Structure 1
Amino acid sequence: MKRLTLPTLLLSSLSSFAQKAPSENFVQYAHPLVGTAKMGHTYPGATVPFGMVQLSPDTDTIPYELNGKYNPKVYEYCAGYQYADKTIVGFSHTHFSGTGHSDLGDFQVMPTTGPLQLNPGTADQPEKGFRSRFSHQNEVAEPAYYRVKLDDHNIVAELTASNRVGMHQYTFPQSDQAHIILDLAAGIYNYPDKNVWTFVRVENDSLITGYRQTNGWARTRVEYFAMAFSKPFASYGSRNYSKKQVYRGFWGRFDQAHNFPELAGEQLRLYFDFKTTANERIKVKMALSGVSMDGALRNLRAEIPGWDFEAVKRQGQAQWQEQLGKVVIESPKKVDKENFYTAMYHAALSPTTYMDVDGQYRGLDQNIHQAKGFTNYTTFSLWDTYRALHPLFNLLEPKRNADMVQSMLAHYDQSTLHMLPIWSHYANENWCMIGYHSVPVIVDAVLKGVVPADQAQRALDACVATAHQKRFDGIGYYEQLGYVPEDKSGSSVSKTLEYAFDDWCIAQLAKKLGKSDIEAEFSKRAQNWQNVYDQRIGFMRPRLADGSFRQRFDVLSTHDQGFIEGNAWNYSLYVPQDPATLIAKMGGEKKFVPHLDSLFTMDLPDKFFAETEDITRDGIIGNYVHGNEPAHHAAYLYNWTNQPYKTQARVRMILPKMYRPTPDGLGGNDDCGQMSAWYIFSSLGFYPVAPGSPDYALGSPAVHGATINLENGKTFRIKVKNQSDKNVYVKEARLNGQKLTRPFLAYADVVKGGELVFTMAGKP
């Protein structure tokens, strides 16, 4: 069999795309700077769809602790960049997009001129370090490309990337004192003693390799690199800023600070010296690997063998053009296209590739594995993304989501606990958030035919084993009592509700496979949500181990009330698997509809905002918290009443309030694409209220039309008649000419291809 080289494959892929490329340039509408202000927590740098490298500027380095206590300011820097900042401290190669916690920030590179300085300086006095002031007027951020002028050094920095390689292009002034600094001590969230060890090997005067081991959110993370320069450096050196005394042995006899070929320590910073002419460009390539330094070198040579920066940028933007073109929308307003394609961009930033070009990757067991027949992925923020992001992948790119499921099952195989990932990244499980939400991702993919049928039983076994994992907080009580008691485990109501939804998903898969015993067990567990519903007050409420409801209770408070990232108002609506029964328990439609109305219209007390750092007024409408996920489905619940028109009005109200094409245009953390996936679905006119269900709930399309280019070669066309900002109500919806009599749309009907026609009106 003839083996094609990667450049050949890239050219073949781009040529194939060019033959069917739509005429419109979608890349122009996607703005990476959206969400970089306030709490969006996105990064503006260069990456490709689901890329392993996220090469982006960091505007500050924030210590996790200040005077021995947690530093609340670190929350602002989850992605390393804040739009309000005036300085850049460097360009690092790994970032999360839109998370509420962070890690990463590996291998920070900074070009400088003038006398060498190896400390970063401060935001107030950048001239005392290597950081630099910058202006947004001299900043450009596009998919796969970033550019900024570093004012203090008179250097223009440009960034682009392939999947596993970041490429820098620095335009220097004339200088006899030009430097490129490699900071191996820096990182996003500088935990105390986060750096365990770093090693650097100077291979020659234009190539270095090494690795960094960290103990942060991921407690055992090892990342390898290979770094190449387009111009040989004249000299180099390093400093070790470790505060610990480490045994040096006989190495102490050498001057390791200058031109020494092997360097090791906990807190290393290196510098490489050059002499430059005016407007001379020095390029740097940094390849990553989770496997080895040799793996990083192979990635470097396979993906970017040459030095043509513009060609790499073009290839990256061609990948984005193809990715964004999976949905082609129609709208006379540029802002609609900017919002939509920015959401499409953010929805394709994670999960991220986590394997070398030869298929090797580091597993959860810290051993090296070979991915056979699938691409291995990492960065699974599942508490967020099971809701809409993975259902979006099932629709737009089922092959990729099938690989993500395979990655989760590989995680399960490598786990000594025999459990699926909760929140995992870089061969680590960090146990963040609650529930076992790999389950709805896997079940939804299997039931929709995305995962091969011969993998269904393996998937069910992994889901069942995970649901029986005793290390989940309160799960033993949940199985014994039918709920998690608050006096035994905090956030007990949220845990009960989320476990119950995951259990419902398992029951659906067991039913599909004819496993009646498993179906019966988990169908019963799925009803446990009813055990924390207090009929007397009409809200979910924490119960104690003795069976009583806790007396001290505030339905508006988010603090110590049995909930996580929400309050009783938001979580009392969290029964996506069975809204009809929830509505009946809450008194039927006559009581439920006014209750749901109140969620969007009430005024919250100031104490609500004072209690939590991750909810701002920007992300809230009434008491509906769009900036957090538990109520993302709430606007669609009117579809289970006789007033579905209120879903249509609510959705069209939320869209412009929570999404704008500006740096502060996200009403909360993007959460690895979940916020963006909500926008994509909702603006098209439907939403997956319950992953694992065969149906979408209809809303109100905000576009004037759309064509979904399905992976199976078919298209699903959405036409919208009488569309306007005032005509938010759906007068009629027809699927392939047949009038829909219920406000629901089957996934199977979409992937078959066809046409959905909405006729809009200004009144219900």
Structure 2
Amino acid sequence: MLKKVLSLTAAFVAGIALVNAQAPVSFVNPMIGASTSTAAAGVYHGLGKTFPGAATPFGMVQVSPNTVTGGDNASGYSYEHTSIEGFVLTQMSGVGWFGDLGNFLIMPTTGALKTSAGTLQHPQGGYRSGYVKESEKASAGYYSVKLDNKIQAEMTAATHSGILKFTFPQNKQSRIQIDLARRVGGTSTEQYVKVINDHAIEGWMKCMPDGGGWGNGDGQANFTVYFHAEFSKPLKSYGFWSADIPADWPRKRDDVTSEKYQARVAAAQIIKGKKQLQGKQLGFFTEFPTATNEVVLVKTGISFVSIDGARNNLKSEISNWDFAAVHQQAVRSWNDALSKISVEGGSKEEKTVFYTAMYHSMLDPRTMQDADGRYPGGDGIAKQPVGFTKRTIFSGWDVFRSQMPLQTIINPALVNDMINSLVTLADEKGKNYLERWELLNAYSGCMLGNPAVSVIADAYAKGIRGFDLKKAYELSRNSVEKFGNGDTGYTPGGLSLSYTLEYAYTDWCAAQLAKAVGNNADYEKYTRRSRAFRNVFDSQKGWFRPKEQNGQWMAWPNSGRLKQWYGCIESNPYQQGWFVPHDVDGMVNLMGGNAKVAADLEHFFEKAPQDMMWNDYYNHANEPVHHVPYLFNRVGTPWLTQKWTRAICKRAYHNSVEGLVGNEDVGQMSAWYILSAIGLHPVCPGDTRQEITSPVFSNISIKLDPQYAKGKSFNITAVNNSDKNIYIQSAELNGKAYNKCYLDYSDISAGGTLKLVMGDKPSKTWCLVN
């Protein structure tokens, strides 16, 4: 038995052998958050929704197991599922709204060919397979599992390509089959595949809104995945399957997972003797006999531009069949990326949570361009970027709060890339505004606010300016005019509070950009509009309250500001009401002053459950409250910021599948942890002030990018730090006494050392200036 276990993990061991036991990459556990369970979360949003498969930093390809098609399962995988339907080449991380991608599903099988995946309830009805749960191995750049059909599956990735290694049992009828129609949230609507020689196939899969996908089609995702795949075993006995799907059948998420639809797929026509096929529900298979422990590999390049691009991507990255070499390169790339922040002290669990959070924060925004630089323009024409890398998956409403501010510190060039990608996309699509939530060039309009304006304002304020400021401001201005409170001073309706408060903030961001371009009239205009939060504050109730179209207050519910969805999106007024990041002093004055606000904030946190799961008070599972722990710094009680950020780090993040209390949301949940664990976090992106809190680790070193920063590194030392010594007693910045509970971003980029002396009791003398 021991020999078998060792053989299953040989590639895994070979990969991590490149680094020592304390290297950042050795602490990554991709299983953290890999569950969609709504039962465990206690709410329909589910848990982390991460995927456990192999990827590279900000890479185009993610080779990952999928356990489910349909439902609100963007990751395609959930740990509690007991069977796997296949391994895909593209994946989204931690999102809701039904998700997308999950393309090019590869499954090794034996016995009779089945063309339908089957279901979680009846896996034997299709090609899916149960698996040995304890055999799952996941690390940065690697995943493996033993299937119940006795096939061992291993996979690793490069930036634009992936390679899968299947170890078969002895069998006269072994097979690798590829479902070309499969898509996480629906189906690709048309496919083409061609056998080009005795070792390779290539083709494409069109993914359009009428096939579901992002938002079940409402997200307007419209893209084509091109592929070039090569097999280590010759294609001697191969064929296709094609299901007869009537032209008038709808093909969205619930349609394609229905019994009626899957019955058609299960009865698909098997076609042999052809070299190519085009259709609406296609698959490809190659069959062969295998000896005991015979290894068959499949390597695939993908592109969103062309088949030629996919072929070149594979050739440039995986030119041979050396699985271990690809794995080792993935490990090296991750270790380099994760080493941008080094931490000492803390427990093994805390380091695992920290570096896995770093890992999750570096999956997106991913590259969308091929190895030769070409990318699909928003107008459908291939482009060549000038001076930036084209990136995609901008989860705006989530990531403007922590994820993009984190990247301004550790990956400022990436922020430039994202801004340029959004600005050029607007031109390519003939739009005059910035997209809120971009996926593969789609203007999905998901969520609310104008998060891209926040990201641009934050970057510019921090000296990250490798973009056309004039054009960026023009689009920002158009965005806040198209989506904003306008001269009315509030947005009415069912989400009145969320809209009004978020628009007020991004009006402030637009004002900062107007000032940068020298447009004083716009600066004054948007500064005035940024005060719109005052228009939805009801002094009689002492809190923010939504308004109707006619300007009247919406009826106050019996549960008051705890009423979920009362004027708010995915929150209640108690949670959303703290969102005035650009004018905290103004907000505090409305609420009754520092002492009253500090007491209310304490109540807000004390009422949260111990496990920090979804609740009506401090709800870390969702983004609207992520800045709130830092408001204690602003009302004269910084020790409470220290107390509660340490508590959240400890109670809401764990080294387990259920280790994230809410959706990962494309790096946001993890980025909050990273910033908080190193002791720095903004309240207001666009303002260079970075709040200081109690770090989880004793020694932190941040590598700075010499193209954007004057210093080489910024270091944070927490003397006497421990689980009990969580309170800052005194501080020094570069050897001089420091009595502010915040730094400026320029202090970080200049390099240097912040020294914090920690103790077990709150200090009422440190940080008298808030």
TM-score by length of 2: 0.88
The answer to whether structure 1 residue 462 and structure 2 residue 475 are counterparts is: yes
Aligned to 2:316: 302
**Matching residue's letter, 2:62:** Q
**Matching residue's letter, 1:750:** I
Aligned to 1:565: 570
Aligned to 1:597: 602
Aligned to 2:191: 198
Greater shift, 35-44 or 217-226, is seen at 217-226
CA distance in 1, matches of 2:134, 2:478: 54
Aligned to 1:41: 49
**Contact 2:562-2:616 within 8 A present in 1 as well:** no
Aligned to 1:112: 109
**What is the deviation of 1:622?**
6.6
Match of 1:578, SS state, is helix
2:676 to 678, 682, 692: 682
Match of 2:624, SS state, is coil
Corresponding pairs, count: 701
**Matching residue's letter, 1:582:** M
CA distance in 2, matches of 1:167, 1:29: 23
**Contact 1:600-1:622 within 8 A present in 2 as well:** no
Match of 1:444, SS state, is helix
2:234 to 229, 232, 235: 232
Aligned to 1:608: none
RMSD: 1.9
**Matching residue's letter, 1:376:** K
Q: How does 1:368-383 map to 2 (within 5 A)?
A: 368-383=382-397
CA distance in 1, matches of 2:118, 2:95: 27
Aligned to 2:649: 655
1:754 to 747, 752, 755: 752
CA distance in 1, matches of 2:654, 2:525: 45
**Contact 1:242-1:265 within 8 A present in 2 as well:** no
Give unmatched runs, 5+ long, in structure 1.
1-17, 63-73, 247-254, 605-615
**What is the deviation of 1:457?**
2.1
Aligned to 2:501: 497
**What is the deviation of 1:558?**
5.0
Aligned to 1:220: 222
**Any idea what the Cα deviations from partners look like across 1:77-121, whole Å, max 9, x if unmatched?**
220110111111000111111112211110100001122222212
CA distance in 2, matches of 1:749, 1:295: 44
**CA gap 1:245/1:632 in 2 versus in 1, 3 angstroms:** closer
CA distance in 2, matches of 1:61, 1:138: 23
**CA gap 1:579/1:245 in 2 versus in 1, 3 angstroms:** closer
**What is the deviation of 1:560?**
4.3
**What is the deviation of 1:656?**
0.9
Q: How does 1:261-340 map to 2 (within 5 A)?
A: 261-340=275-354
Aligned to 1:141: 138
CA distance in 1, matches of 2:21, 2:235: 44
Aligned to 1:715: 713
Aligned to 1:386: 400
Aligned to 1:250: none
1:445 to 451, 459, 480: 459
Q: How does 1:365-444 map to 2 (within 5 A)?
A: 365-444=379-458
Aligned to 1:575: 580
**Contact 1:618-1:668 within 8 A present in 2 as well:** no
The answer to whether structure 1 residue 128 and structure 2 residue 125 are counterparts is: yes
**Contact 1:366-1:427 within 8 A present in 2 as well:** no
Match of 2:358, SS state, is helix
**What is the deviation of 1:739?**
2.1
CA distance in 2, matches of 1:566, 1:717: 36
**Matching residue's letter, 1:480:** D
**Contact 1:354-1:378 within 8 A present in 2 as well:** yes
**Any idea what the Cα deviations from partners look like across 1:391-424, whole Å, max 9, x if unmatched?**
1111001112211111111112223231112111
CA distance in 2, matches of 1:154, 1:549: 64
**Matching residue's letter, 1:662:** S
**Contact 1:555-1:567 within 8 A present in 2 as well:** no
Aligned to 1:636: 630
**Any idea what the Cα deviations from partners look like across 1:580-601, whole Å, max 9, x if unmatched?**
1111110001211111111112
Match of 1:468, SS state, is helix
**CA gap 1:529/1:242 in 2 versus in 1, 3 angstroms:** farther
Greater shift, 410-419 or 85-94, is seen at 410-419
CA distance in 1, matches of 2:364, 2:652: 21
**Matching residue's letter, 1:243:** I
Identity between Structure 1 and Structure 2 (%): 38
Match of 1:624, SS state, is coil
**CA gap 1:133/1:23 in 2 versus in 1, 3 angstroms:** closer
CA distance in 2, matches of 1:679, 1:219: 30
**Contact 2:680-2:691 within 8 A present in 1 as well:** yes
Aligned to 1:4: none
CA distance in 2, matches of 1:280, 1:641: 66
**Contact 1:172-1:280 within 8 A present in 2 as well:** yes
Match of 1:318, SS state, is helix
**Matching residue's letter, 1:535:** S
Give unmatched runs, 5+ long, in structure 2.
1-17, 38-46, 215-219, 249-268, 763-770
CA distance in 1, matches of 2:247, 2:751: 66
**Any idea what the Cα deviations from partners look like across 1:623-662, whole Å, max 9, x if unmatched?**
1110100110001001111211111111111111110011
**Contact 1:558-1:564 within 8 A present in 2 as well:** no
CA distance in 1, matches of 2:132, 2:270: 38
Aligned to 1:187: 183
**Any idea what the Cα deviations from partners look like across 1:41-97, whole Å, max 9, x if unmatched?**
0000000000100110001223xxxxxxxxxxx12x220110111111000111111
Greater shift, 556-565 or 569-578, is seen at 556-565
**Contact 2:242-2:270 within 8 A present in 1 as well:** no
**Contact 2:49-2:664 within 8 A present in 1 as well:** yes
**CA gap 1:603/1:720 in 2 versus in 1, 3 angstroms:** closer
CA distance in 1, matches of 2:87, 2:560: 44
**Matching residue's letter, 1:204:** N
**Contact 2:572-2:616 within 8 A present in 1 as well:** no
CA distance in 2, matches of 1:557, 1:131: 44
Aligned to 1:69: none
**Contact 2:611-2:652 within 8 A present in 1 as well:** no
**Matching residue's letter, 2:724:** K
**Contact 1:393-1:400 within 8 A present in 2 as well:** yes
**Any idea what the Cα deviations from partners look like across 1:528-569, whole Å, max 9, x if unmatched?**
111111111122111122222112434345544110011000
Aligned to 2:362: 348
Aligned to 2:640: 646
2:543 to 533, 539, 543: 539
Greater shift, 629-638 or 702-711, is seen at 702-711
**What is the deviation of 1:358?**
1.3
TM-score by length of 1: 0.89
**Any idea what the Cα deviations from partners look like across 1:605-638, whole Å, max 9, x if unmatched?**
xxxxxxxxxxx97534771110100110001001
Match of 1:55, SS state, is strand
Match of 2:189, SS state, is strand
**CA gap 1:400/1:278 in 2 versus in 1, 3 angstroms:** same
**Matching residue's letter, 1:661:** N
**Contact 2:565-2:571 within 8 A present in 1 as well:** no
Match of 2:621, SS state, is coil
CA distance in 1, matches of 2:372, 2:346: 46
